[in-house]
Every structure is written in C-alpha cells, then in structure tokens.
Amino acid sequence: MEEIKNHFIHDIIDEDLKANPELKIHTRFPPEPNGYLHIGSAKAIWINSQTAKKYGGLFNLRYDDTNPAKEGDEFVRSIYEDLSWLGAVPTGGIYYGSDYFDKCYEFALQLIRQGDAYVCDLSADEMREYRGTLTEPGRPSPYRDRSVEENLALFEAMKNGEYPDGAKTLRAKIDMTSPNINLRDPAIYRIVHTEHHRQGNKWCIYPLYDYAHPIQDELEGITHSLCSIEFENHRPLYDWVIRHIGFEMPPHQYEFARLNVTHTVMSKRYLRQLVETGLVDGWDDPRMPTICGLRRRGYTPSSIFDFVSRAGVAKSYSVVDYELLEHCIREELNATAPRRIAVLKPIRVTVTNYPEDKTEYFNLPNNPQNPEAGTRALPFSRTLWIDADDFAEVPPPKFHRLKVGGEVRLMGAYIIRCNEIIKNPDGSIAELLCTADLETGCQNPADGRKVKGTIHWLSAKDAISADVKLFDYLFTIENVSDIPEGKGYGDYLNTDSVSTVKGAFLEPTLRDAAPGERFQFVRIGYFVKDTKYDSTFNRIVGLKDSFPKS
C-alpha cells in the first residue's frame, strides 16, 4: 500500500480521532461545473481523496451546481472524466448541490422564522455601499427590520417568480459592524431566471455557495470540509449557518494553501477566455494547466499526484516551479517509456559502399533502464536520415559528431565516414556521401581506433513522416500574480508557446502507436501520440533536468 505523507490536516484528524475513536472520516471535492478542472483542482482532489483513503473513510464528488447561468453538462462530464483518469474514486458517492435545493429552501424558511434572515430590496451596488470597508463598519439595510410574516411572504413571491433578476435577495441577519465583511448580512439567496441544467425551470431562486456549502456537507455526513485558503474568512459564516440551523453532528471546515505554479494561470474565467477566443486549441490544449490538457500533453496521473505531494500541504502562500512538475514526469518516463528514434531536422546520407537493394536489421533496446523490456529491430539501408544538428560543415572545437573527413558511430550499427557534401543550388545541404566500415556492425573497429561520437539515424525508405509539436510555457512572466498594475494576462501570453516541426521522420515501429502512448525519442525528449490529431506527436518534456534532486 502506498505511503500517504502526513501533513497538518492529518494532525487535526488524529486529534479528532483521539477524542472520538468511532469517527468515520468523510471528505468531499465540490467543483463548480462551469469550466474544466486544472492542476490546482488536482491538489484539492489529492488532499481530499488521499485523506479519506488514509483513514479508511469515504470521499464524495459533489457538483456545486448552484449557479445555472454558467454551468452545463459538458463540464459535469469533463469533471467526472478527469477524476476517473486521476484514479480518485468517489467512494462515498456522486452528488449534486442542486439535489439539496428543497432542503436549502426549508432551512431558509427556518432562518426567517427565527428572525435570522430577511428579504432585502437593495441592488448589488447598494449592498456593496452599505457593506462598508475593511476599516469602516457597514450600515444596516433599510429593509433589515421587516417582520417575519412580511419576509415569509416576500420570499415566497421570490420563489414564485414574481420579481426580476436582482430585484431582491434573502440575507442572513448577522452583524453589520463585524470586522469580517463576510458576516455583514451576506446574501444567501438570489433571483436567477435561467434554466438549470438538471432542475430545469423548477427554481428561479438559488442559494449562494457560502450558505449551501455547510448544508450540503452536513446532509452528506462530511466530517472534514477541506478547501483552499481563500475560504478561511468565510469559515465564520459556515459555522454560523450550521449553528443557526441547529445541526447535531456539524462538519468542520479547514483550509490549505492553493497550488500556484509558475508560468501559468489558474483562473477558470481567463482559461475560458483563451478557449473562446481561439488562442488555444480548446480546454485540452497541451499548453493549458487543465487536467485534460496535461493528459493530452502526456502527463500521467501518478506524475501529477507526485508533483502535488512534493509541493506539500501548508497554509502559507507559495508558488511552485513548473520545473518540479517536469521533473516528476521525466523521472517516471525515464524508467518506463520505450525508446524510439526520431529525426526532426533531417539530412539525407547515402552510404555509397552499401548495396542499393539490401536491407538488414539491428536490434536496439526498448529501454536501457529495463533489460526486460527487450529489443526491437531497426532497418538499415543505403540511404539514411540523420539530424542536422549532428553534422557540421565547419565544426566547432570538441565537436564529436559527423564532419567531412570525420567518423561517427550510427547508434547500434556501423561506423561511417563523411567524404563529400552535395549542395542544392541555394547552398543548402542536399546530401552527405559517406562510407561505412562494414566490419563494425555492433562491434568496435578491428584496428582499435577510437570513435567518440554516436548519433541516431533512420533508414530513409522505411521511416514514416509525422508532425511533432514542441511546447513552451504559456506565459512569459514567471509569477502571474505579480503582473504590474495596468497590465493583464494577455500582455504576457507567450506567442511562441508552440511550434510545429513538419515532415519529421520516425522509426517504422511508431506507425502503430496508440493515441496517448508515450515514448522517449532518443537524444531528444519524451513524446506522446496526440489524441486529437493523427500523425502528430507532442513533446511532453525534454531530456535535460535542471531541477534540484531531493
């Protein structure tokens, strides 16, 4: 069984279990279905699902679908697909916030009868004005002292659709002078005349999250409501709702720091804007920080959760280097990915002393890290492709690859010598004429001479053609939270975040690669067969790892 690292939330649970050994730990992940999940969501999923797993408890998926204007079935489906792919099984069940609308309404009536809620006619702008500031107390609404009977009648009229959007709200009656602005009579119901993706037109009033959240938690038996740090100042309202409704076994809310990653953004609103304006290739664009984007990029569930685990669980703000995520997938694929040959910048090589009609095969290891992975046969013929970076017409010092008059080892095959360059009319290289030492197939020269360089190659007549996409960071600025005043995300969008290599050549074994299958292209990096476009491979990450080893 995998070890689940301890953190401060587990310390809290350990103390709770000391006080009540019979407590059954129950957590939940409550995404709003108004966009696709991103890597920040993966942290919340990991914390909640792994906590339940560690203590033998239950983990719920609950869709927070209380805002019909922005939600839809597309996002509901995508959230479930992402959770399933990550392996975070909702062992406690799958629920919808909208399933609790009747109970939320009943509890709202209870609060009105208790004198703890009232119907307010202030507009949104007026409410903000009355709320006050961090240094000045708020002012009570002129509608705060309506009678219970009047509030009940008005709330019923709101439910029956007698008022337009924004005309009235139901507000909790708490304390307009509280230093916590969230307790200054927050709205708990608003009017929204929009069809709900599951409830249809049954409702035209909808509970706000801060009110619905604790009710949903209690009704599902959640013991530890774990959420990100921006909800810390909302916890007193969470507790107020629970206390004033009178739940006997109340859940408790605990907060952890959000996952912030360099060179990317976690704003679903901005990610949606990138999609809708066509600046990216959908929510699953491999440059996006979405779970489906990372999946299409070639990341694995284990590498994502490894990244989250290494980033740690704390309450203090921090920004995690994207290179740590790259390190996690690189470390995994180095041990698991089959090796394959690709030539991205091809130069034709003719081995002039090799028969034109001959093909032979050399066995190359599928993974040198794992001998049990076996070998595959790579065809060799008179005409080859090598990479342009492996030849220099005017070589720099200590250049150990191919040059005129120089020798190099073809990986797993012969040593060749370059004798002549054939050029095109524009001066570019058309072809290299070489000879092979045909006694050196898979062995050293008989005369004992040393050949320092080894390069990869492909048989020209057997290689297949493909497009290869190379990705860079989505944003040029490292910390997108530090954007200067007057600037926006768009000012730092990296216009060179993707480049496409057309007409790259790959070894023939990749002809049958399945979408989503990952490989190491030898001496280049780790790549995945694209799941959207045929004959396209996406670079997951390069070979070089500059991240400090732990």
474 three-state secondary structure: coil
User: Please, which contacts does 13-19 make with residues 24 or more away whose CB atoms are closer than 8 Å?
Assistant: 13/51, 13/55, 13/224, 16/223, 16/224, 17/55
Task: Look up 173 and say whether it is catalytic.
Answer: no
Catalytic-role residue among 139, 198, 258, 310 = 258
Catalytic residue (one of 53, 146, 159, 268): 268
268 part of the active site: yes
Rounded CA-CA distance 41/30 in Å is: 10
Taking the CB of residue 336, how many other CB atoms lie within 10 A of it? 15
Does 439 qualify as catalytic in the annotation? no
Residues 195 and 188: their CA atoms lie apart, in Å, by 20
Residue of 32, 150, 331, 431 with catalytic role: 32
416: exposed, middle or buried (C-beta count within 10 Å: 0-12, 13-18, 19+)?
buried
Hey, is 64 helix, strand or coil? coil
Neighbours of 31 (CB within 10 A): 24
Strand ranges (E), 242-399: 252-256, 260-261, 319-320, 339-340, 342-343, 346-351, 360-365, 375-380, 383-387
Distance CA 220, CA 213 (A): 11
Taking CA 193 as the corner, what is the angle to CA 268 and CA 38, rounded to the nearest 5 degrees? 15
Strands in 33-127 per DSSP E: 58-63, 93-96, 117-120
Contact partners, residue 480, CB within 8 Å, separation at least 6: 263, 264, 265, 489, 492
The C-alpha atoms of residue 233 and residue 221 are separated, in whole angstroms, by 23
Strands of the 518-521 sheet, one edge to the other: 339-340, 518-521, 525-529, 536-542, 464-471, 498-506, 342-343
Taking Cα atoms as reference points, which of 248, 225, 122, 239 lies closest to residue 174? 239
d(CA 153, CA 156): 5
Q: Which positions are catalytic?
A: 32, 258, 268
